[in-house]
């Protein structure tokens, strides 16, 4: 009721209609319909203008044996018998019944700029495609996430209860509900954060027919709705405690949700938009299998499990993982033919490097070679490996089977660090020991592209122990040459250096001493280090001292979506890396 109430306020504004004058038809008379009708009445819809239908027809004064709730919306109109007659000449249709209750003809009979909330699940009273094709002036909402304007309780309940609990409200009254309605309605008119656009694959969401209520993944909800509800509770006298500093309360709410959690939710949500097939090379390890279960049940990806089939099935039983998924056990006879076929393909690929057919087939009996070939041939979209083995050991077969992408000089790795000051990418944390200046430049470009993949506008600081030519040491010169190379090859890229890390991250320090730096008015979100030592040490120090979460290392430059875990990662880290792998595969399709 609260969510649809907010949607109704905004829909009426767009339709240029006054709430006290509209004619409304409600199809359905269950608890949800009654609750919504009460809300609409509180918002200003006149009872005489509401016609409510149940399975027996119009609820009117002639009907007998009506429940108390239905009597509240019993109409004095005894002439209308059918739903189609009621819809004719109406302004708003509210559907809380079942599929196909509204026809094209009924929709055509509604007044100009009709408002249709077809909220039956899983299929609405009239399909979205049919409705928008029938009337180009329609303002429509459904209960589905695959259409604009999803009316979903997730927009309300968690945040309403948060506000109520924070002031220890003795009850949730009408004033608090109305506050939630108007806060949601007003939020939809505010500029939409870029990360919300990314999740929903929208170029630019803005208030209009296709955006009358906020999206469920909008992180602003946590610092908007509870504040409105808490204020209403205090003002209406049902709060047991007061809040003196509303700005601080709003900030605290944002912190409770957690910046790092928000980004992780964003990554997982983006993966869910187009799940891919991921092969896990060590699915017979408990943590890997637990992660695969979460990935499958949350709709992030479709796991392909590789390992000893008896061990996998035993573990699946232990963790109550009942779904039937593809399991690949290379020790079984049924895998032999595919091993030989893959071996022949690999032999043709590497014979000019001295590889024999028997050697190729032998290598394809191992998990990383076989899994890499599956991804190369399109039998899986992505690969996640490295749970129990060292990075160099895992990446070797991947490089041999899959190799670098077209035009890539060197592969590299970046870690997305979710710090107390916000997200930041660190490169190269895992692969290139002492890259030359041009390799350093290409690492920067690949990191910038990775940042864009996650919706960030790259702002790059090329780090050194010196600032902007203050040292002529070869190490500082290397970074300076990399910056020059980047400015020539990518003039639109925001990059500067050589620069010390404290100047890169402290705007005040930077602008006071180097006011002409391109980073002066920017928030740096990419740090590129001069060598592997400095990058790897820094990311691990940040992780331990700052308590930052690390997502990665994210491999950049491979021809396919392949990602390697740090040794013995947690279940959460495996799930996050799986989501990264899905997004990587998605971006390649795009």
pLDDT per position as a tens digit, 67-112: 999 999 999 998 898 999 999 999 999 999 999 999 999 999 999 9
pLDDT of amino acid 203: 62
Are residues 440 and 552 both part of a single domain? yes
Residue 484: both structure tokens together:
């020059």
| pLDDT tops 80 at residue 487 | yes
The SS3 assignment for 10 reads: helix
Peptide bond preceding 428: is omega within 30 degrees of 0, i.e. cis? yes
Q: Which of 112-116, 315-319, 426-430, 474-478 has the lowest mean pLDDT?
A: 474-478
Domain range for 323 is 269-330+366-400
**Is 43 contained in some domain?**
yes
pLDDT of amino acid 21: 95
The SS3 assignment for 384 reads: strand
CATH of the domain at 392: 3.40.50.10950
Are residues 245 and 317 both part of a single domain? no
In angstroms, the CA 217 to CA 219 distance is: 6
pLDDT of amino acid 217: 76
Per-residue DSSP letters for 394-461?
HHHHHHHHT-BPTT-S--EEEEEEEETTEEEEEE-SSS-SS--HHHHHHHHHHHHHHHHHTT---EEE
In angstroms, the CA 424 to CA 407 distance is: 26
**Is 572 contained in some domain?**
no
| pLDDT tops 80 at residue 415 | yes
CATH of the domain at 538: 3.40.50.10750
In angstroms, the CA 19 to CA 25 distance is: 14
- When pLDDT is averaged across residues 259-272 and rounded to a whole number, the result is 76
| pLDDT tops 80 at residue 193 | no
pLDDT of amino acid 590: 63
Give how far the C-alpha of residue 340 lies from the chain's centroid of Cα atoms, to the nearest Å: 40
pLDDT of amino acid 257: 58
In angstroms, the CA 557 to CA 405 distance is: 6
In angstroms, the CA 557 to CA 539 distance is: 21
What letter would DSSP give residue 236?
A: T
Are residues 237 and 379 both part of a single domain? no
Confidence class for position 216, pLDDT limits 50, 70, 90: confident
User: For the segment 235-264, what is each residue's pLDDT rounded down to a tens digit?
Assistant: 999 999 999 888 888 878 876 655 556 678
CATH of the domain at 174: 3.40.50.720
**Is 578 contained in some domain?**
no
The percentage of residues in the chain with a pLDDT greater than 70, rounded to a whole number, is: 97
pLDDT of amino acid 323: 85
Are residues 546 and 514 both part of a single domain? yes
pLDDT of amino acid 262: 67
Answer for the pair 120, 32: CB distance below 8 angstroms, yes or no. no
Of 204, 233, 256, the last residue of a domain is 256
- Cβ contacts of 258-263, under 8 Å, gap ≥ 24: 259/418, 259/420, 259/422, 259/423, 260/418, 260/423, 260/548, 260/549, 262/219, 263/416, 263/418, 263/423
| pLDDT tops 70 at residue 125 | yes
Per-residue DSSP letters for 90-152?
-SEEEE-S-TT-S-HHHHHTS-SS-EEEE--SSS-SS-HHHHHHH-TT-EEEES-TTSSSB--
Of 113, 148, 183, the last residue of a domain is 148
In angstroms, the CA 508 to CA 434 distance is: 31
Q: How many CB atoms lie within 10 A of CB 6?
A: 28
Burial grade of 578 (CB within 10 A; 0-12, 13-18, 19 or more): buried
User: For the segment 329-384, what is each residue's pLDDT rounded down to a tens digit?
Assistant: 999 889 999 999 999 999 999 988 888 999 999 999 999 999 999 999 999 999 99
Are residues 201 and 169 both part of a single domain? yes
- When pLDDT is averaged across residues 301-320 and rounded to a whole number, the result is 93
Answer for the pair 301, 325: CB distance below 8 angstroms, yes or no. no
Q: How many domains does the chain have?
A: 4
User: For the segment 287-302, what is each residue's pLDDT rounded down to a tens digit?
Assistant: 999 999 999 988 899 9
Are residues 47 and 185 both part of a single domain? no
Q: Which of 167-176, 395-404, 467-476 has the lowest mean pLDDT?
A: 467-476
**Average pLDDT value for the chain:** 89
Residue 293: both structure tokens together:
């279960």
Are residues 58 and 108 both part of a single domain? yes
Are residues 525 and 382 both part of a single domain? no
Of 131, 148, 165, the last residue of a domain is 148
Element housing 314 (H / E): helix 309-318
Cα pseudo-dihedral 272, 273, 279, 282, rounded to 10: -20
**Is 571 contained in some domain?**
no
Residue 93, C-beta contacts closer than 8 angstroms, at least 6 positions apart: 24, 25, 27, 87, 102, 106, 107, 110, 114, 115, 116, 117, 118, 125
Radius of gyration, CA atoms only, the chain: 29
Nearest CA to 384 out of 300, 323, 311 is that of 300
**Is 273 contained in some domain?**
yes
Are residues 245 and 275 both part of a single domain? no
User: For the segment 16-62, what is each residue's pLDDT rounded down to a tens digit?
Assistant: 999 999 999 999 999 999 999 999 999 999 999 999 999 999 999 99
**Is 300 contained in some domain?**
yes
Are residues 318 and 446 both part of a single domain? no
- When pLDDT is averaged across residues 478-507 and rounded to a whole number, the result is 88
pLDDT of amino acid 247: 86
Are residues 17 and 128 both part of a single domain? yes
pLDDT: which is higher, 554 or 516: 554
- When pLDDT is averaged across residues 485-511 and rounded to a whole number, the result is 86
In angstroms, the CA 296 to CA 291 distance is: 9
**Is 430 contained in some domain?**
yes
pLDDT of amino acid 519: 79
Residue 218: both structure tokens together:
């909008």
Give how far the C-alpha of residue 557 lies from the chain's centroid of Cα atoms, to the nearest Å: 24
Answer for the pair 20, 45: CB distance below 8 angstroms, yes or no. yes
Nearest CA to 301 out of 369, 383, 229, 204 is that of 383
| pLDDT tops 90 at residue 498 | no
**Is 161 contained in some domain?**
yes
Element housing 327 (H / E): strand 327-328
- When pLDDT is averaged across residues 523-532 and rounded to a whole number, the result is 91
Are residues 26 and 135 both part of a single domain? yes
């Amino acid at each position: 009721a609260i969510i649809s109430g907010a949607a109704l306020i905004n829909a009426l504004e767009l339709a240029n209609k006054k709430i006290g004058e509209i004619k409304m038809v409600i199809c359905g008379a269950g608890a949800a319909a009654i609750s919504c009708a009460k809300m609409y009445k509180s918002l200003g819809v006149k009872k005489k203008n509401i016609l409510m239908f149940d399975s027996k027809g119009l609820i009117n004064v002639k009907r007998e044996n009506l429940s108390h709730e239905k009597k509240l919306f019993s109409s004095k109109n005894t002439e209308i018998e059918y739903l189609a007659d009621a819809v004719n000449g109406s302004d708003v249709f509210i559907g809380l019944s079942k599929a196909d209750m509204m026809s094209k003809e009924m929709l055509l009979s509604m007044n100009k700029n009709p408002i249709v909330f077809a909220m039956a699940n899983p299929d609405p009273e009239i399909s979205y495609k049919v409705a928008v094709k029938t009337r180009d002036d329609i303002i429509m909402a459904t209960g589905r996430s695959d259409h604009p304007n999803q009316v979903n309780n997730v927009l309300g309940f968690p945040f309403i209860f948060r506000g109520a609990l924070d002031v220890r409200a003795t009850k949730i009254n009408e004033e608090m509900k109305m506050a939630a309605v108007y806060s949601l309605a007003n939020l939809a008119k505010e500029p939409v954060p870029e990360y919300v656009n990314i999740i929903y694959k929208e170029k630019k969401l803005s208030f209009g027919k296709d955006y009358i209520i906020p999206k469920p993944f909008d992180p602003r909800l946590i610092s908007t709705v509870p504040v409105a509800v808490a204020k209403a509770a205090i003002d209406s006298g049902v709060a047991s405690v007061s809040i003196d500093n509303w700005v601080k309360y709003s900030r605290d709410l944002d912190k409770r949700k957690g910046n790092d959690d928000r980004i992780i939710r964003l990554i997982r949500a983006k993966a869910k938009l187009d799940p891919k097939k991921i092969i896990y090379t060590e699915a017979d390890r408990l943590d890997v299998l637990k992660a695969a279960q979460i990935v499958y049940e949350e709709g992030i990806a479709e796991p392909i499990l590789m390992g000893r089939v008896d061990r996998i099935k035993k573990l699946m039983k232990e963790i109550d993982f009942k779904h039937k998924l593809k399991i690949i056990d290379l020790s079984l006879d049924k895998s032999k033919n595919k091993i030989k076929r893959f071996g022949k393909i690999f032999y043709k690929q590497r014979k000019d490097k001295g590889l024999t057919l028997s050697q190729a087939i032998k290598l394809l009996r191992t998990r990383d070679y076989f899994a890499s070939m599956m991804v190369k041939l399109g039998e899986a979209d992505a690969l996640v490996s490295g749970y129990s083995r060292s990075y160099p050991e895992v990446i070797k077969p991947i490089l041999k089977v899959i190799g670098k992408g077209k035009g890539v000089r060197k592969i590299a790795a970046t870690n997305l660090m979710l710090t107390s000051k916000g997200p930041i990418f660190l490169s190269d944390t895992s692969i290139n020991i002492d890259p030359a200046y041009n390799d350093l430049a290409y690492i920067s470009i690949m990191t910038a592209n990775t940042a864009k993949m996650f919706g960030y506008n790259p702002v790059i600081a090329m780090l050194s122990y010196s600032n902007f030519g203050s040292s002529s040491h070869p190490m500082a010169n290397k970074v300076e040459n990399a910056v020059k190379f980047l400015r020539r090859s990518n003039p639109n890229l925001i990059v500067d250096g050589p620069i010390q890390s404290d100047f890169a991250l402290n705007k005040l320090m930077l602008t006071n001493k180097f006011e002409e730096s391109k980073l002066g008015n920017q928030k740096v979100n990419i740090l590129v280090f001069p060598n592997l030592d400095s990058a790897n040490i820094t990311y691990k120090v940040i992780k331990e001292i700052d308590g930052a979460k690390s997502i990665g290392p994210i491999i950049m430059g491979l021809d396919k979506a392949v990602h390697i875990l740090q040794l013995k990662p947690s279940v959460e880290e495996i799930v996050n890396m799986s989501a990264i792998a899905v997004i990587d595969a998605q971006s390649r399709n795009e």
